[in-house]
Amino acid sequence: MLSIEQLSISRHAGSTDFQVSLPSLSLELGNIVVLQGDSGCGKSTLLEMIGMILKPDQVASYRLSFADNSIDIANIIKHNQQDKLAQLRAAYFGFVPQTGGLLPFLTVKDNILLPLQLLRKRLDQQRLQVLIEKLGIAHLLNKYPKQLSIGERQRASFIRAIIHKPLLLLADEPTSALDPYNANLLFNLIIEQAKIDNIAAIIVTHEQHLVKQKGLTVLEPQLINKQKAIFSLKEQGSHND
């Protein structure tokens, strides 16, 4: 389970500051929450803060609990233990960045296998095969990222993000470059795979229709004076559309 209390950061844009905060979030492994909101409201900032890519100004509590373990991430952040944070990210987190984030000098297959190599974990060949087939990228495995469309890179990037069965998947608009058919396919697969592998997932998405169709929990910001975004769970039934 992921549990966070009072996580916040201030971003400095010229002479003004923009604060992004998350008062409270609890997310069970296998469950999904989506981040929605207007452009510039702080979705990527929040995701990067949760992913320990951006250092928060404040964090009262941040824990990742699984089996008999409970990792006090807030404590590691507060003590600025970068090595430990890097180890945690590699072992327990999976990222799908907005543009795919594949390494240009590795083939698609080597990109996908990289997390396992870094962790010295064995590849589950059958699982890889299933994922590759589901996402239709078998013919791209020996190509380099620059030979792929952005949408193809996003699909490969998703497999790379979950190949090591992380506890938490963080995806920043993973379907933004896909046509409706493939967006639907990838979105469904993310939800399905999170359940199968017991991964908690936080997904930034503008796919309102799919979010509604799947009845997913939404985290959205309340904007205060265009200077502060406070993210909280949207109450069921408060859809405007």
Q: Which residues bind ligand ATP (CB under 6 A)?
A: 11-13, 18, 37, 39-45
Q: Provide the residue type at 145 as one letter.
A: P
Give the residue carrying structure tokens 């069965």. 165
* Closer CB to ligand ATP, 40 or 180, in the complex: 40
Q: What is the CA radius of gyration of the chain?
A: 18
Are 159 and 135 in contact, with CB atoms under 8 Å apart? yes
With 0-12 / 13-18 / 19 or more C-beta atoms within 10 angstroms meaning exposed / middle / buried, residue 66 is middle
Give the residue carrying structure tokens 């949760």. 50
* Closer CB to ligand ATP, 12 or 122, in the complex: 12
Q: How far is the CB of 36 from ligand ATP (least distance, A)?
A: 9
Q: H-helix or E-strand containing 180?
A: helix 180-197
Q: How far is the CB of 11 from ligand ATP (least distance, A)?
A: 4
Q: How far is the CB of 221 from ligand ATP (least distance, A)?
A: 8
d(CA 94, CA 221) in angstroms, rounded, equals: 24
Are 61 and 67 in contact, with CB atoms under 8 Å apart? no
Q: In what order do the strands lie in the sheet with 16-27?
A: 69-72, 58-66, 2-13, 16-27, 228-233, 217-224, 32-35, 200-204, 168-172, 93-96
Q: How far is the CB of 131 from ligand ATP (least distance, A)?
A: 27
Q: How far is the CB of 96 from ligand ATP (least distance, A)?
A: 14
* Closer CB to ligand ATP, 42 or 51, in the complex: 42
> CA dist 193 to 25, 135, 185, 207, 235, Å?
22, 12, 12, 18, 26
* Closer CB to ligand ATP, 12 or 146, in the complex: 12
Cα 236 to its chain centre, rounded Å, is: 23
Q: How far is the CB of 206 from ligand ATP (least distance, A)?
A: 8
* Closer CB to ligand ATP, 107 or 154, in the complex: 154
* Closer CB to ligand ATP, 41 or 135, in the complex: 41
* Closer CB to ligand ATP, 37 or 115, in the complex: 37
d(CA 95, CA 54) in angstroms, rounded, equals: 14
Q: How far is the CB of 170 from ligand ATP (least distance, A)?
A: 12
